Amino acid sequence: MSAEVDDLKRRLAEFEDKNRRLEKINRALMHRVEAGPENSDGAYDNFKHSVYLAEQVRERTEALNEAMHSLKSTNVELVRASAAATNAHDLLRQAIESISDAFVLYDADRKLVLANSRFSQFWQSSGIEISPGMDQQQIHKLSQHHRLIDRYYGEAVSTGHGALPGDGKVFHMRSGTWVHVSERPTRDGGLVVLYKDISALIENERALRERALATKSRTLQNTLDNLSQGVVLVNQAQNLETWNHRFTELTGLSKTALVSGFSFSRLMQLTEVDDLNPLSRDDQGRPCLQLEQVLSDGRVLEIRTHPMPDGEFVNTYTDITERSRAVKALAESEQRVRVITDTVPALIGYVDKNLTMVFSNRAYETWYGYEREVILGRHMEDIIQPEQMVRLRPYIERALSGRSVNFEITDPAPDGEIRHVVKNYVPEKDANGEVQGFYVLIQDITEIRRTSEALTQAYQHLEQRVEDRTKELTELNGQLRQEIEERVQMEQRLRDAKQEAEKANHSKTKFLAAASHDLLQPMNAARLFCASLMEHNLDERTRQLVFSLNYSLEDVESLLAALVDISKLDAGVVKPDITAFRAGDLLGNLANEYRTLAADSGLAFEYIATSAVILTDSQLLARILRNFLTNSVRYTRQGKITLGCRRRTEGLEIQVWDSGDGIAEDKLEEIFLEFNRGSQKDTARDKGLGLGLAIVDKMSGILGHPIRVQSTLGSGSCFSVLVPYGRRQLARKATTPGLALLGNQQFLGRRALVLDNEASICHAMDVLLSGWGFDVVAVRSYEELQQELDADIDLIIADYHLDNGVTGLDVVARLRSERGLDAPVLMITANYTNVLKQEVRELGYRLMNKPVRPAKLKAMIHHMIHHAIVA
């Protein structure tokens, strides 16, 4: 609108100038006409000239009239444009005035052109009048002089007219209002400035922040009050800042004593809790940021101080009474475990995943010649010789990968002697299946290897001697008639050689029997200690260690039992006790026992019941079938195992089918040989000495029950035994040994007498029976009993073999005759002969063979005491 007005003014000035020139020309022409011609002779020329002039005047007059008309039109347009500009200016002013923000317009020279009333309100309190034409810098100097602005937030923006507050910045006015400044340039170089009052917005945001801060404070306080720990914050002045309820509970301070701003040190003097802070020192002058304090009421507090960079600190107070008691109980439990494991002859240790020795029993330390304090915490490479470590490395890696490892290796003793050992590495896994370490179980088989080698040499020597004698007989055969005397002497020498061989074999049998009997004593004690320990409340790690120890003892027990069986069978002292009974009673118990073992190996188990009555020795038959079932579980990796019977004309054929590895046809005869272990593909599953089927072959020969084997390599096997039928009326129901075991302390108030010449057995029985509630009197001879016996006895448990040729039966007889004791008697022995069984049975006693299984012992005691009460 301003540009149109300027254009109209310019055109009007041009028309006015043009009009003045035309008027000047007109006056000159009129002057020449009025002067007239000076010479009469030129009248015609003058007439022509006047006509010409008249024509020019007429043209100029028309042009002047048109110019005047145009000037009038321009004046009209100018009036209209001026009115429009005035109207636009009024509309602009009204529009600016209607803006809710303060508005200022500067021209290109930063002179004030226009401002609304809201801008003027900023200056009312100072008495300054702002008028158009004032310079922007002058206005800013006035604002600074009168201190209208308290402060502004943001850097100044440099412009061509001086340093101005930057666009988009916020000002806090002296009047208390908050103003947001926004600057925008115009197309002609001017500047528009808007001042927006944002006081309400600032106050609203401040209120929101205060409410959020209050909410966070309440949340923080609620969080502190719900912590199980006591928490207190101390400020830079060492005064109490904030605390939670748990702090007052643990320190015993009353709520009235807790005042914000109170000295923390003076406050802690009101309690028995130590004043711990970042400046605290221990007895040696070292910084102390954590301590445990036992209070007078028995509680144990763990106090920690946490310094902060600004000088403040936070103290936390935790009640660790239960944890302290648990740690103490764990230490006591570990001590009990060490007492038990130190009595076991086997070498036992535990190595973590970093190959650091964590646990070892006394036998392990004695074997390697280290003290316990020296061996624990050391790396295996520091304990074991480098050459031996290289040999063990593959087995260690397999154990750390999560697989159990069983292998035979030579191991040098501290004195340099090379010993043969069987090592078993059993990995320990956490809840996520990660291997945390492995147990080391070592058995010394040097004597067994030496005995085996000696037997082999004896057999070879015997074969050579027989071969030599046969050769001599062959050479003398042609002179038989002439050298009868010589032949008689030769036959005598052969008989002597045979007797020598039989004597050597008998010596081997006696050695194995004696060695097995001597090993059964500490093994029996170890099993009893393990059973007692498992009935205590243990943490998960200690319980796992005890279970692993129990499994290892079971393996050793199985090996010893196999040696005992072989020695007894070779010596001919095992005589069958033939009775008639229902086959289903025996097979049902076996099915229940091996169904769980098969499930643990991921195998299905099927049992087909039978009602047939058979005539045989139930214990020997059970041993045969257990060997069949154990081998099926051991050599079957997937599929199922079936236990069932087939009725034959000559008797009942009891069969065990499996879907295992199978046996090659040319190996079927070898599996019944001693020390033949079949497949060696998985030594972790193939434990033992390979005596199981050799024992089965000897027992079947004693019973006269044929053994049959059907097998296909890779498809499975079937082992069976043919047992003769018995008469139904002679059948008797077998006593179920698997009585449900009641809880501990079920024999509370009962008194038991334990008689054994081994102190370790007496101690183990004392611990085990005391855990079941018995008051135990444990003695090693009748002479010790004379001082101990002073009350009624509910049960007598006696070992058969005592010192100096005295037997447990002799001592019990003296107790009954001299003391009048009539309590039930349980005789425990490693003697498996039928003569002893018959003698004990005739006396009305019960008999158990070593090693004693704790569960079976508890069931037997429960049965004996129950029948004694009924009687």
Residue bearing the bigger pLDDT, 799 or 714: 799
If one counts every other C-beta atom within 10 angstroms of the C-beta of residue 355, the result is: 19
pLDDT at 105 over 80: yes
Pair 685, 631: CB distance under 8 Å: no
Q: Find all residues with CB under 8 Å of 714, minimum gap 6, and list them.
A: 661, 662
Pair 650, 707: CB distance under 8 Å: no
pLDDT, residue 724, reads: 94
The mean pLDDT value of the chain amounts to 76
pLDDT, residue 615, reads: 93
Phi, psi of 296 (to 5 degrees): -65, -25
* pLDDT interval class at 643 (50, 70, 90): very high
Got the DSSP string for 346-411?
A: SEEEEEETT-BEEEE-HHHHHHHT--HHHHTT-BHHHHS-HHHHHHHHHHHHHHHTT--EEEEEEE
Over residues 387-411, mean pLDDT: 87
Cα–chain center distance at 542: 16
Pair 303, 273: CB distance under 8 Å: yes
pLDDT, residue 27, reads: 73
pLDDT, residue 646, reads: 93
* pLDDT interval class at 111 (50, 70, 90): confident
**Domain 751-870, classified CATH 3.40.50.300, yes or no:** no
Q: Find all residues with CB under 8 Å of 526, minimum gap 6, and list them.
A: 340, 343, 344, 553, 764
* pLDDT interval class at 269 (50, 70, 90): confident
Q: Find all residues with CB under 8 Å of 607, minimum gap 6, and list them.
A: 587, 588, 591, 595, 642, 643, 644
How many CA atoms does the CB half-sphere of 100 hold within 13 Å?
A: 5
pLDDT at 510 over 80: no
CA-wise closest residue to 324 among 297, 302, 291, 296: 302
pLDDT at 161 over 70: no
Pair 516, 562: CB distance under 8 Å: no
Pair 458, 571: CB distance under 8 Å: no
pLDDT, residue 645, reads: 94
* pLDDT interval class at 641 (50, 70, 90): very high
* pLDDT interval class at 504 (50, 70, 90): low
Is the overall model pTM greater than 0.75, yes or no? no
pLDDT at 43 over 80: no
CA distance 632 to 630: 5
Strand partners, 719: 656, 709
pLDDT at 330 over 70: no
Q: Three-class SS of residue 849?
A: strand
CA distance 868 to 864: 6
pLDDT at 491 over 80: no
Count H helices and E strands in the chain, helices first.
Answer: 23, 30
Least confident of 355-369, 467-481, 738-752: 738-752
Phi-psi sector, 804: left (phi>0), alpha (psi -120 to 50), beta: left
Least confident of 51-55, 812-816, 822-826: 51-55
* pLDDT interval class at 761 (50, 70, 90): confident
pLDDT, residue 158, reads: 36
* pLDDT interval class at 162 (50, 70, 90): very low
* pLDDT interval class at 159 (50, 70, 90): very low
pLDDT at 847 over 60: yes
pLDDT at 796 over 70: yes
CA distance 693 to 109: 118
* pLDDT interval class at 721 (50, 70, 90): very high
pLDDT at 152 over 70: no
CA distance 743 to 731: 34
Tokens describing residue 483: 């050298």
What is the CATH code for 228-319? 3.30.450.20
Domain boundaries, the chain: 2-96, 103-197, 228-319, 577-730, 751-870
pLDDT at 735 over 60: no
pLDDT, residue 733, reads: 41
pLDDT at 166 over 50: no
Q: 577-730: which CATH number, 1.10.8.80, 3.40.190.10, 3.30.565.10, 3.40.50.920?
A: 3.30.565.10
Residue bearing the bigger pLDDT, 738 or 406: 406
* pLDDT interval class at 30 (50, 70, 90): low
Residue bearing the bigger pLDDT, 594 or 739: 594
Most confident stretch, 79-83, 443-447, 775-779: 775-779
Strand partners, 586: none
What's at 292, amino acid-wise? E
Least confident of 31-40, 60-69, 552-561: 31-40
DSSP assignment letter at 739: P
CA distance 122 to 111: 19
pLDDT, residue 498, reads: 67
CA-wise closest residue to 809 among 841, 777, 832: 841
Got the DSSP string for 158-220?
A: EETTEEEEPTT-EEEETTS-EEEEEEEE-TTS-EEEEEEE-HHHHHHHHHHHHHHHHHHHHHH
* pLDDT interval class at 95 (50, 70, 90): confident
Over residues 628-646, mean pLDDT: 90
Tell me the per-residue pLDDT of 277-290, one tens digit each, with 9 for 90 and over: 888 888 888 888 88
Q: What is the percentage of the chain residues whose pLDDT exceeds 70?
A: 74
Strand partners, 185: 191
Pair 831, 808: CB distance under 8 Å: no
pLDDT, residue 40, reads: 46
Q: What strands lie across the sheet with 405-412, from one edge to the other?
A: 357-360, 347-352, 435-444, 418-429, 405-412
